[in-house]
A and B are shown apart, each in its own frame.
Chain A
Amino acid sequence: MKCLVVDDSATMRRIVVNALKSIGYDDVVEAADGNDALQKCDASIELVITDWNMPVMGGLELVKGLRGKPDHAKTPILMVTTRSVKEDILQAVEAGVSSYILKPFTPQVLKEKIDQILSLASGSA
Chain B
Amino acid sequence: MDASQVRDLATELETTLRLLAQLVTELESRREDWNRSGVVRELVTRLAGQPNLVELPAILLRAHAEITEVLGGIRLTREAIECNAIERIRDTKDQISDVASTTESATLELMNGLDRSLELINSLESQAHGAAPAEGYQELRSQLSALYNHLQFQDITTQQLQGVAQSLLDVERRVAAVAALFDRAFHAQGTLPLESASGAASSAHLAFNPDATMKRTPADQATVDLAFKGARGDAASPCDARP
Contacts and interface: CB of A to CB of B under 8 A. Distances in A.
B240 interface: yes
A89 B238 contact: yes
A89 to B, nearest CB: 5
B183 to A, nearest CB: 34
A109 B217 CA distance: 12
B224 A11 contact: no
Interface string B142-160: 0001001111111110110
Contacts of B209: 52-53, 81-83
Interface string A42-62: 000000000011110010100
A8 B154 CA distance: 13
Contact of B232 (A9, A18, A82, A93): A93
Contacts of B213: 82
Interface residues of B, number: 43
5 contacts: A11-B108, A12-B155, A53-B207, A84-B223, A86-B231
Contacts of A53: 159, 203-204, 206-209
A32 to B, nearest CB: 11
Nearest to B152: A104
Given A14-B111, A52-B209, A102-B221, A86 B216 contact: no
Given A11-B104, A11-B108, A58-B204, A106 B231 contact: no
A38 interface: no
B243 interface: yes
Contact of A84 (B204, B208, B214, B224): B224
B175 interface: no
Tell which of B107, B227, B240, B243 has the most Cβ of chain A within 10 Å: B227
Given A11-B108, A82-B209, A82-B213, A106 B149 contact: yes
A22 B145 contact: yes
A11 B209 CA distance: 16
Contact of A86 (B149, B203, B240): B240
A85 interface: yes
A121 interface: no
B211 to A, nearest CB: 7
Given A12-B152, A52-B209, A53-B209, A103 B228 contact: no
Nearest to A60: B204
A70 B214 CA distance: 37
A18 B221 contact: no
Tell which of A54, A83, A109 has the most Cβ of chain B within 10 Å: A83
Given A82-B211, A84-B240, A93 B151 contact: no
A88 to B, nearest CB: 7
